[in-house]
Amino acid sequence: MSDQISKFYAYVDSHEADFVQRLADAVLYPSISSDQTPQGRQHVINMGSYIHGQFAQFVAKPEDVQLVDLGFQDDTNPQIRLPPVVLARIGEDANKKTVFVYSHYDVQPVGGWKEANVQDPDAFILNTTRPDGQLIGRGATDDKGPIMGWLNVLEAHKSIADGLGKPLAEILPVNIRFLFEGMEESSSLGLDKWINEEVQKPNKGWFNGVGCACITDNYWLTTHRPALTYGLRGIAYFSINIEGATNDLHSGSFGRMVHEPMTDLVQLFSLLVGTNGVIFKEVEEMVPAPTPEERAQYAQLDYAVSDLRQDIGNPVELSEDPVELVMGRMRYPSLSIHGIQGAFDTITTAIPHKISGRFSIRLVGKQTPKAVHEIVDKFLRKEFDNLKSKNKMSLTLEVEGMPWVGDRDHWNFKAAHAATIAVHGVNLTPDYTREGGSIPITLTIEQALDGENVLLLPMGRSDDGAHSLREKLDRDNYFKGTKVYGTYLYELAKQVAS
């Protein structure tokens, strides 16, 4: 077995240029799932077809790789189809463990990329020439890099299998079930429904025999130490909708004569969260204070204030205590204000007559979107009444996702821990983190597997800038991440289920 792992590592080392080209080919597809134009959606569909074609090289039978049609975006627009789910199955040996692997192939929009990246004007042409080893392009780390990493693992083992005159599935230490979606950045529309229907089939359909799951869609806590993630915050995304006059008004003619929606909104925003990050008390009181034992657990993480400053660029941290900072990211809820729809972004003296203020709350512990929605709605209605405004206000819950915490002591995590040390060395044992972001599909997968363990195994670093105007993946993380994925499969095979 160790000889086979050595061959796997050697193949990765000798094919780095090919693997970078594979990532560049994937980045070329502008697979922006939020673009609901026919042309924009076709780009995402084309990316799904590309992934399907790549995995088709490694399956034993044509039916082992599938494009699953999820139907239309919504009933009112039958012209826009949802991107397909890509499924790939390798191995059906009942004597081996079966791992389920999830990633997504859609990406965020790129507005402003050209202006922010003079040297990299096209977000979908991967910059591979930088001396610092950064591979810059939209989707490089979120989440095309990890998908290409899995393809690299399969290619390397296919070469080994061919040299031995054996099928790929025979030499892999476990069976693998892959699922890649194209709507993760747009609330995973259609996927929950498909998964829930699939598990109702005899023997749970595509999920038959799966004993654990691995999601490769997050990042290290820092730039210098690998991480394994066992928790995620949930999300409740809201819009405060305020309407006043029937049309926009001239401030010179109507200023100080009418209740202005923007003024009402600013007042309400100021009451939701303080500049210290603390949310209004009804939300804060939903989460108990950390115990000394819990605080000590966070103190063990290899994290410093300088790590945060490196990621954000300027010293605007809320605390000089790194334990408070990581708890702010992992175990406390947070409220962020995102924007105002209906406001003007040019110099104008008009008074907007109708606006929508967007904000979200990241949820933890026993907080649910439903419970938080009720609390926020009650709070805002009371405070709006206190304004004595004659405008109309309503609150809408736009997006929701439950928080999740898994079992970090499970053999699935032990396998990933051993794989990380094997590749990065004993001096870089992984941090065990609860991610500040939300990946709602995690809970859906856990439920579909009847509670089998789910692991988040990141490839990229904390400064990769997913969703930002300079998204990148470091070469070192790409190649070592590929090795970690492959080694993880071997370590899974060693684990005794408990």
- C-alpha–C-alpha distance, residues 161 and 60, integer Å: 13
The secondary structure of the chain in percent helix, strand, coil, rounded to multiples of 5, reads 40, 20, 35
Q: Is 166 exposed, middle or buried (0-12, 13-18, 19+ CB in 10 A)?
A: exposed
Catalytic residue among 35, 106, 431, 491: 106
CA distance 437 to 185: 12
Let me know the angle formed at the C-alpha of 236 by 231 and 242, rounded to the nearest 5 degrees: 160
**Residue 284 designated active-site:** no
Active site residue 106: yes
Residue with tokens 């983190």: 433
Continuous H helices in 341-496: 369-387, 411-424, 441-448, 475-494
Q: Are 184 and 102 in contact (CB under 8 A)?
A: no
SS3 380: helix
- What number of other Cβ atoms are within 10 A of residue 176's Cβ? 24
- Side chain identity, residue 209: G
Helix (H), strand (E) at residue 6? helix 2-14
And the tokens for 2? 């160790």
Q: Nearest CA to 460 among 482, 476, 475, 477?
A: 477
Catalytic residue among 120, 143, 155, 184: 184
Backbone angles phi, psi at 71, to 5 degrees: 90, -150
Residues designated catalytic = 106, 184
